[in-house]
Amino acid sequence: MIDKIKMAALAVAVAAGLAGCMKYEKPNSDTSTSGTMTMVCDNSFQNIMEQEIEVFEFQYPEAHVLARYATENIAIDSLMKLNTKTIVIPRDLTKDEVKRLREKRFIAKSKKIAIDAIALIVNPANPADILTVGEIGEILTGKLRDWNEISPSDLGEIKVVFDSSYSSTVKYMRDSLMNGEPFGPNIYAQDSITGVFEAVKATKGAIGVVGVSWLNTDLDATEIPTEQLAAELASDEPTQGKAVDSSVKVLKVRRDDQVEAYKPYQQYIYDGSYPLFRQIYMVTVGANGGLNHGFYSFVTGRIGQKIILRTGIMPAVFSPQVVSLE
């Protein structure tokens, strides 16, 4: 009987010891540099966010960021329903959205991370170099349907190509340039950014509408090793942007009341000379000390901003550079 009591006591002690060890190790702990998180990012910012995630996970191997790339509306909806705690969108949260999150006991942290621009690309064989803001609006609504209506040309119909019918670039152009009018019959949507570039390369009369950062992305080439990229970003040397895709031509754009036209160089995005620009925001409701907040701090910090700088758009906290788009 005494032996049985001793064995039972020993079993309890061993179990308690194992439980204590398991509790101490916390294998699934979430910190600012470890754990797993999800986020939803606007499609037009995908190429930049993939680089942010790549470098962040390289620096912090125990951190895993699972990103979904979708429309602005899907990103907002995911945050409001708390299906995700971090999003990247081309606007800040509204007062009503902040209030709705507060009612659920979540405080949103929001910060502008970049000034993006919308670029218009055409086939290199297209002689056009400049469009006015007014002309772009009339092209989008179908009032201008032929290149010959803009300047003497034999290119024929103007076809405008977006990456998706629901992309934020579509929303931006509609809200900024169309005065509430519907799109004309000359507007087309591809399934991807790659599709936009391919359509412009194949069609001399096409205009592609893309975020500026995609001009600096070689869609066919292998990126530099992550270790090399991380080392370059950590150094104090000036950040160098990648070469622009030479298989397309970037149009200059001017305001209707101005003489000078501009390409979407970082300097002209920064000072507002290039008229087609927008703000990019990162929003999180992740708790301080958690991975969502850690990744938010990384993207809004020095290295995260340098990643944005090298893509050709304007980061929120760095000085502009003039990068040729010829």
Write the pLDDT tens digit of every residue in 1-39: 445 444 444 444 444 444 444 443 444 578 999 999 999
pLDDT of 244 above 60: no
Dihedrals φ, ψ of 305, to 5°? -70, -30
In b/e form, how buried is each residue of 298-307, taking b as 16+ CB within 10 angstroms? bbbeeebbbb
| Helices 95-103 and 72-80, axial angle in degrees (round to 10) | 30
61 band by pLDDT with thresholds 50, 70 and 90: very high
Lowest mean pLDDT among 30-34, 206-210, 258-262, 320-324: 320-324
Q: Look-up: residue for tokens 């799109």?
A: 183
Beta bridge partners of 146: 157
Q: What per-residue confidence (pLDDT) applies to 249?
A: 94
Choose among 295, 283, 285, 302: nearest CA to 33: 295
Q: What per-residue confidence (pLDDT) applies to 288?
A: 94
Amino acid at 64: H
E strands, 60-108, where? 63-70, 86-89
Q: Look-up: residue for tokens 């809004």?
A: 300
Rounded CA-CA distance 169/162 in Å is 8
Q: What per-residue confidence (pLDDT) applies to 206?
A: 96
Q: 286 or 8, which is more confident?
A: 286
Lowest mean pLDDT among 10-14, 59-63, 234-238, 319-323: 10-14
Residue 262 DSSP label: B
The pTM assigned to this predicted structure is 0.80
Q: What is the pLDDT of residues 207-219, one digit of tens each?
A: 999 999 888 754 4
Rounded CA-CA distance 30/199 in Å is 44
Choose among 226, 197, 218: nearest CA to 209: 197
Choose among 229, 220, 222, 115: nearest CA to 172: 115
Whether residue 307 contacts residue 48, with contact meaning beta carbons closer than 8 Å, is answered with yes
Amino acid at 23: K
Q: What per-residue confidence (pLDDT) applies to 250?
A: 95
Rounded CA-CA distance 241/238 in Å is 10
pLDDT of 242 above 50: no
Q: What is the pLDDT of residues 155-164, one digit of tens each?
A: 999 999 999 9
pLDDT of 243 above 60: no
Q: What per-residue confidence (pLDDT) applies to 157?
A: 94
Dihedrals φ, ψ of 284, to 5°? -140, 145
The CA-CA-CA angle for residues 42, 44, 46, to 5°, reads 75
Q: By three-state DSSP, how is residue 70 classified?
A: strand
152 band by pLDDT with thresholds 50, 70 and 90: confident
Residue 208 DSSP label: E
Q: What per-residue confidence (pLDDT) applies to 224?
A: 67
Q: What per-residue confidence (pLDDT) applies to 12?
A: 44
Question: By CB neighbour count within 10 A (0-12 exposed, 13-18 middle, 19+ buried), where does 212 fall?
Answer: buried
